[in-house]
Structure 1
Amino acid sequence: MITTALVSAWIARFGEIIEDRADYLTKLDSPIGDADHGANMLRGMTAAVPAAENAPTIDAQLKAVGMAMLSKVGGTSGPLYGTLFLKAAMTLGQRAEVAPSEFAAALRTGADALAFRGKAEPGDKTMVDALAPAVAALESHVAEDFAAAAEAAHRAADEGRAATTDMVARKGRASYLGERSVGHTDPGATSATYLFQALAEVSR
């Protein structure tokens, strides 16, 4: 079962990775964005980690993370990450543990809502390029073993992240650069990959 303890550990580990990689995320964002993705994500996760830890149920944890991202993260990343977690929370009842399949389904709902809000699809050079394959991999393997499913999701996210390097951006600020966006890895896809890296690490 997926428990509040696991979700707390997941969000805490995501926060640690963001703290460690904030400068790198900003470096990625500099040539194709506003050069603030790392700082924005760090500000959001600084608020999200204690909020998730103090929430009594999984839906409350995800809602707390979503609200922290909405209120603390600037640019488009805040609303998008906020949508991911808030919509995922809405699919779960007020429970301290849920089945892995329910957790995967919640992330699917959140990921689909994020893509809809951002009007993005795979191939647009956005965080969807990492998020969509990660959630699909999680769903495909979750019936077998959650730890293995989380590892598969991380691998899929990382492959999607890497693929953005050679893409022409079709959404967001990077899209204004056209062909000049090629050669730059998308920072949103990178932070989304860290989300699944964290899930894989705490699920082992």
Structure 2
Amino acid sequence: MMELDKLFFKNVILRLIPLFEEHRDELSQLDSDIGDGDHGINMSIGFRAVEKQLDEIYDTTDDISSFYKKVGMIILGKVGGAAGPLYGSLFMKAGDDVKGKQTITFEEYVNFIENGIKSIEFRGKAVVGDKTMVDALRPAIDLMKSELGSGKTEVEIFEDFVQELKNGSDRTLPLIAKKGRAMRLGERAIGFRDPGSYSSYLLFNEVLKELKDRN
């Protein structure tokens, strides 16, 4: 049975820092199509800010929950636009059910992710079909939960989760936006991808890589 510790989550963050630097222009271009055009820049700035404090956060937190909460507070404060509150809440709320734990099981990690997604749904008041990151996150987490106990390995389950995130991001292309600045475009938003749905796919794809390295 897979066990994930605080070092695993630190290593994930270390992957995300260069990831969002690498995809900064791509994400900002996606955002410029239907939004402010700063999603990639904001994500890069936010995770660079996390990088500056990452070692201190790791050394001064006792469990996974407090580690993620402190990372989330930096993201909330440093990532601009709608992404800051959404990704900040994802990190801050994910660990609510594992307070005091130094390691968690894969099943606990699935619940961990769902807690974060629920916080995004609550904060953004978004549902599937609104052309937001929820179009990727909600179907993907529902799929992953349904595959627990299916006989698939934990890595295979997470591979399916990440693929469904990509599928969900693809499904935002034909949608009319019902949230955020893109909502003002009406039918003109059709044909453009929601940038948050794509950045969430990129983020969890890095988690998948770290899971594979652990196995």
What interval of TM-score do these two structures reach, taking the shorter chain for normalisation?
over 0.9
Pick the aligned partner of 1:91 from 84, 89, 97: 97
Distance 2:198 2:66 in 1: 26
Q: Secondary structure at the match of 1:2?
A: strand
Match status 1:18 vs 2:20: yes
* Identity rate, percent: 37
Alignment of 1:101-180 (within 5 A): 101-143=107-149, 144-180=152-188
Question: Structure 2: 5+ residue runs without aligned partners?
Answer: none
Q: Which residue of 1 aligns with 2:9?
A: 7
**Offset of residue 51 of structure 1:** 4.3
Q: CA deviation at 1:18?
A: 1.1
For 1:169, what is the secondary structure of its paired residue? coil
Give the number of equivalent residue pairs: 204
- Give the aligned CA root-mean-square deviation in angstroms: 1.5
> The residue matched to 1:154 in structure 2 has which SS?
helix
- Return the match for 1:44 from 43, 46, 60: 46
TM-score by length of 2: 0.89
Deviation, structure 1 residue 94: 1.9
- CA drift of 1:19 comes to 1.2
Q: Which residues of structure 1 form unaligned runs of 5+?
A: none
Q: Residues 51 and 64 of structure 1 are in contact (CA less than 8 Å); yes or no, is this contact kept in structure 2?
A: no
Amino acid at match of 2:12: W
Taking structure 1 as reference, are residues 169 and 70 closer, same or farther at Cα in structure 2, changes over 3 Å only?
Answer: same
Using the TM superposition, name which of 133-142 and 162-171 deviates more.
133-142
Deviation at 1:195, TM superposition (A): 1.4
The alpha carbon displacement at 1:199 in A equals 1.1
TM-score normalized by the length of structure 1: 0.94
Q: Is contact 1:138–1:149 with CA below 8 Å preserved after alignment?
A: yes
- Does structure 1 residue 80 correspond to structure 2 residue 82? no
Give CA deviations for 1:112-131 in whole Å, capped at 9, x if unaligned. Answer: 12101101011111011111
Question: Which amino acid letter does the alignment assign opposite residue 161 of structure 1?
Answer: S
